[in-house]
Amino acid sequence: MLTVNNLSAGYGGLDVIHEVTFNLAAGECLSIVGPNGCGKSTLLKALSGLLPFKGEAEIGGMPIRTMNASQLARQLAMLGQSSGVYFSYTVFDTVMMGRYPHKKGGLLGLPTKKDEAVALDCIQSVGLLDERDREITKLSGGQLQRVFLARTLAQQPRILLLDEPANHLDLRYQTELVDHLKNWAGQKSGAAAGVFHDLNLAIRFSGRLMVMEDGRVRALGAASEIIQSGLLEEVYKMDVAGYMRACSAFWECEQSS
């Protein structure tokens, strides 16, 4: 569904990512990991139309480059880290904004009944139906991120890009969010690519990992194989497996004691 071939992009004429190639099929999720500054977020920015790029990127055979802003927004949506909110809207109004790329002509481009139905459906799917008339400035961080997720889903995209979507969320919301996204991809035959700092969360999101280093793809494949290959230790320059084992050992002796 998403085909990326030899994609390079950067800022001010200087490439930060080089010749990135990968595919995403319908219903598939991909976790993108790598140390700070490896180009993960830059890759997402290029794919979502925020940065010009060289190379090819196509959604369902149609080049991203040839799409205008609202065409692209109907195909692909981005959920970033939850950021601050300066102006207050109700949950419902916020999610309705996701319907913007579907707006018809007309002077005001007013939302239709269908837009409202889709928005309510998305609000329900993140479990906030009872909160739909609350002001978003009064919500907790976890609730707010779910509102943003609902807004992203209201775009009805085929592809979701996630840029550390679970940052600032507590453990329960992190896992709920990731599970929700996985379910979405399965049920709607969408595809999702997510950047994660937390390797455990990355593996929970998808068994398929893409490891980046210095703007290049170092590995792309099953998480289990990548872990065994010792590549993570090389890329992160630390004993990743040892650290993970130490963590889980700690939990095990806590349980048995």
Q: Would you count residue 74 as binding another protein (CB under 8 A)?
A: yes
Give the one residue of 36, 61, 66, 87 binding another protein; rule: CB under 8 A: 87
Q: Which range in 116-124, 134-142, 206-214, 244-252 contacts another protein by CB under 8 A? A: 134-142
Closest separation in Å from C-beta 22 to another protein? 20
Buried b / exposed e over 163-189, threshold 16 CB at 10 Å, is bbbbbebeeebbbbbbeebbebbeeee
Tell me the CA end-to-end span of the chain in Å, nearest whole number: 49
Nearer to another protein, 92 or 196 (CB): 92
> Residue 135: phi, psi to the nearest 5?
-75, 135
E-assigned strand segments in the chain: 2-11, 14-24, 29-33, 53-59, 62-63, 76-79, 159-163, 191-195, 208-213, 216-222
Binding to another protein by CB under 8 A, coded x per residue (else -) over 103-122, reads x---xxx-------------
Closest separation in Å from C-beta 235 to another protein? 27
Nearer to another protein, 128 or 235 (CB): 128
Give the one residue of 86, 105, 172, 237 binding another protein; rule: CB under 8 A: 86
Closest separation in Å from C-beta 230 to another protein? 36
The residue among 44, 109, 106, 77 whose CA lies nearest residue 191 is 77
Q: 14-24 and 2-11: which strand pairing?
A: antiparallel
Q: Give me the residues that bind another protein (CB under 8 A), please.
A: 45, 48-50, 68-70, 72-74, 76-78, 80, 83-90, 93, 97-98, 100-101, 103, 107-109, 135, 137, 140-141, 144, 155
